Structure formats: structure tokens, C-alpha cells
Amino acid sequence: MMRSMFSGVSGLRAHQLKMDTIGNNIANVNTVGYKSQRATFQEVFNQTLRGAGSPQAGKGGTNPQQVGLGISLSSIDTFHIRGAVQRTDNLTDLAINGDGFFILSNSEDGLSRSYTRAGNFSLDDDGNLVAANGYRVLGYMVDPDTNVLKSQLEGVVISKAEMVAAKETSYSNFEGNLDNNIAQMTNETLPAFTAAAAGPPPVPESFSIPLGAKFWETTATVYDSLGGKHTLKYTFVRGIAADGTLTPIDPDTDLSNNWGVFIQNQDTKKYFTNLGVEGAGTNLESILVKLEFGPNGLLDLAKSINGTGIIKLTVSPKNGSAETKIDVNFSKITQFANESNAAVTSTDGYPQGSLDTFSIGPTGEISGIFTNGMNKIIGQIALAVFKNPAGLEKTAENMFQVTPNSGDPIIGLPGYSGLGSLNSGTLEMSNVDISNEFAEMISTQRGFQANSRIITTSDEMLQELVNLKR
């Protein structure tokens, strides 16, 4: 009689634990990165009243007779199934598209580690990427050459104090077209030039093209060793004599494919010679950089700028910078019957810049975007994967810890070696299926109710037994 009562008690305890699990799942239905759990039951020890007997002497065998002693909790399983993704557009919110966990640490050396799927991160006052509880997100930083230091796992820092040093311009490449409908220079449209006068006060070189003359002008910026800005103006004229000089031109002379370009430093107002020296011109021909095109509209390199299409300019220093030496490449300019649009399309110089914003890519690379328009990698977020993620132990605040049954973490980069990629601006939400939880809650309630009836019924039977003496 007492066995049934204790079986009912074990049933009540087990169903209460299951209800606790269901209640926790429902409570965390909107918790970022939460993984739902399931409680399962098993029989406890069975009391054997009679063992099994084998067939013998014409009689058949008999089965064992056993009475169960109730149930106990078999397991509470954690389902590491990806939850729904919520878009937030917050730069530091991250979701893992696949397997893996973010690595968190609350120690300076980063050796005390926890793991989470909740990617609701933010930046603290020092630029550390941290979880909501202040734990630092671990990853890899970069060396001065922006090489990711994959041998050293440390806290990721995205600091507004991050800078990009200025880079001196070393080349400027022209592309585009010069309109072959631009008229050739004539006696009336020939440019005027005055060289610098000797002795103080110096008179800057002057150069002018009369009104009505046809030409094409464009400007480009170059930077010195300190990031100082220099603006160069390029003036293209058509109708250069065969020897590369500007002379009064006979209108009947066909110099259709002959062009020249004058290059001026807008800061000093001085022109470069055709040898690339600033301010050393003595006449119009000395500052003329010759360009000659073929009948196919392409630049004839053999007849242009010393056979290379490239002129080497030396820009004067200013404010303590060094001289800036620049290769200006005109080799890709064309001369077709179309509007002029020749301009510098690629160059390598830039001023000093500080971090403006950043983005986090699918592989965890953090790309800094700087005020000078440059991008560079400033760090990379790492992930960890486990052979048995269900063996991890839940601690608190959406975190897990390693156990002997989870295996050691395998650390790597997102998108590689079986690790999921990152989605920036999104969060992985709870994977709780609330409809399933309500169905489980109903069945658990009925199970608890039925077990309570076992106890009350057993109590009534015991009461009848006590009443036998009356």
C-alpha cells in the first residue's frame, strides 16, 4: 500500500521539476540567445516479487513479477538550436549564423572564459567590446602593419583614439578622354608666360591663356609626408609643334594629335618644368609636357614624355615636410570625338585620420572607417565550438562554462573550420517554441494532477485499513 503512495510522491516531484523547466523556458521566451530545455523522466528501481522461470518438465516458463517504485528525473537537456534572428541595425549587435559561441572573459589575462550565443554587445569608455554584464569579448588585434595577430587571444578594442598616419602621395594615374574637337592653338590663342625674376622680391611665374582659347583643365590633390595638402592644376592644350614647342601656329598646319599639358602647384602658383622641377621654367616650352596621340585615339608613348607617358614631379615641401616625389601617369588618356573628362582616377596619398565608424564582417573582421576616407582592419572577433555543446553548463547572464563532458573549446575564426559566420546588426533570439511549451504545460499539469490522486486514493485505502479494527 505504501509503495503506491511513494510512487505518487515521486511523480509529483518529477512533474514539479518538469514544470519548473517549462516555466523557465516561457519566462525566457524573449531572452537574447536563450536555449530552451526539456525535462525527461525514467523509472526508478523495481522491486521483484518473483523472478522469471524457464520452461521445464512440460511446463512453460514464467515471467518476472515486479512492482515499480515510481519515477525520477532522467535528464534536463539543452537544445542548442539556432533561434530566430532579429534585426537591430546596431553596429555592435552580432548573431552567429551556424555553430559556435562568443568567447567572454572578466580577467585581465583573458584566461577566465565563459561562452555565449547572446551577441548584444556594446563599447565601454575605453573602447572595449563588452557583453551586457561587462565581460570583454575576446578576439585578435592587429600589428602596426594591420596583420591580425592570431596567436594572441585578447579583448577586442574599438577605440575612437585609433588613427591612420598620413601617407605621402607617390603616384597619380590619369584616365579619361581629351575631346579631339577642341580647336588647335593659333597666334591669337597662344598662351603667355613670364618667368620668375631674379633677386628679391621674387616674382612668381605667370601663365595665361587668352579668352576664347579652347583647353581642358582639371585639378588633383596630393599629400606630403606630414599629410599636408597640395593642389595641382593640369591644363591641357591642343596644337603642339612637332618638336614639342609652342610657336605661332599656321592655321593650315595639322597638329590634330599633338597635345601639351601645363602643371601648376596651386599653393605656390609655380609651374613644373617638363623635367618635373617646380618653379624652374624659363620659357613656355620649358614648362610644356608633351603628349601625342595616334590615329587610333590612344597615347603614342614613344612620342610622349620621354617615351614613358610618365612625368616625375618634385613638389616643394611646406611646414616641415619632406619633398614629395610623384609619378604622374598619362598613358591611359585617350583622344576620341567625345567630351573631355580626363582626370586623376587613382592615387595613394592621404592625410592623417581618426576613427569615424566601423563595420564587422561575416568573418569577424572589424574594419575601421577613418575621417580621411581610409579603411583598415583593426581587429577580428574569435568564436569557439565544442564537440558536445549540450554538455556545457549554464551559469548566469546567458553564459555557459566548460564541463568534462562538453570537451575543450576549439577556437577559430567565424566562417572557417565549421564555425558559423557573423551577421552584424542582428541578434539571435530565444529558441523557445511557446506553443509547444503550453502543450507540455497542459500534459505536465495533468500528470501532476493524476499523481496527486494516487496519494489521496492510497490515503483512503489506508484509512479503510485502519477502520478494520472498529
Q: What is the pLDDT of residue 1?
A: 59
Query: Are both 320 and 383 inside the same structural domain?
Result: no
Query: Are both 318 and 299 inside the same structural domain?
Result: yes
User: What is the rounded CA–CA span in Å between residue 94 and residue 133?
Assistant: 16
| Count of domains observed in the chain | 3
Query: Are both 422 and 437 inside the same structural domain?
Result: no
Query: Are both 46 and 175 inside the same structural domain?
Result: no
Domain boundary among 347, 364, 395: 347
CATH number, domain with residue 177: 2.60.98.20
Query: Are both 210 and 314 inside the same structural domain?
Result: yes
Q: Supply 250's cell numbers.
A: 599656321
The residue segments making up the domain with residue 392 are 89-164+355-428
Residue 47 inside a domain? The answer is: yes
Residue 249 has pLDDT above 60, yes or no: no
Query: Are both 223 and 341 inside the same structural domain?
Result: yes
Higher per-residue confidence, 411 vs 186: 411
Let me know the angle formed at the C-alpha of 255 by 213 and 293, rounded to the nearest 5 degrees: 105
User: What is the rounded CA–CA span in Å between residue 399 and residue 412?
Assistant: 19
Q: What is the pLDDT of residue 54?
A: 87
Query: Are both 180 and 310 inside the same structural domain?
Result: yes
Confidence band of 119 (pLDDT split at 50, 70, 90): very high
From 266-270, 359-363, 422-426, the region with the lowest mean pLDDT: 266-270
Q: Are 180 and 291 in contact (CB under 8 A)?
A: no
Residue 439 inside a domain? The answer is: yes
Q: What is the pLDDT of residue 201?
A: 55
From 71-75, 172-176, 223-227, 230-234, the region with the lowest mean pLDDT: 71-75
Q: Are 345 and 366 in contact (CB under 8 A)?
A: no
Residue 283 inside a domain? The answer is: yes
3-state secondary structure of 240: coil
Query: Are both 191 and 310 inside the same structural domain?
Result: yes
Residue 57 inside a domain? The answer is: no
Convert the pLDDT of each residue in 36-53 to its tens digit: 999 999 988 777 778 888
Please state whether the predicted TM-score (pTM) of the whole model is above 0.85: no
Domain boundary among 310, 325, 347: 347
Query: Are both 288 and 395 inside the same structural domain?
Result: no
Query: Are both 193 and 312 inside the same structural domain?
Result: yes
Mean pLDDT of 96-110: 94
How far are the Cα atoms of 48, 53, 55, 330 from residue 62, in angstroms, in the given order?
13, 5, 8, 103
Residue 362 inside a domain? The answer is: yes
Residue 25 inside a domain? The answer is: yes
Residue 102 has pLDDT above 60, yes or no: yes
Query: Are both 360 and 453 inside the same structural domain?
Result: no
Mean pLDDT of 422-443: 95
| Percent of the chain whose predicted confidence (pLDDT) is above 70 | 95
Domain boundary among 328, 347, 366: 347
Query: Are both 47 and 36 inside the same structural domain?
Result: yes
Compute how many other C-beta atoms are within 10 angstroms of the C-beta atom of residue 108. 10
- Give the residue among 110, 85, 200 at the shortest CA–CA distance from 411: 110
Residue 248 has pLDDT above 60, yes or no: no
Residue 192 inside a domain? The answer is: yes
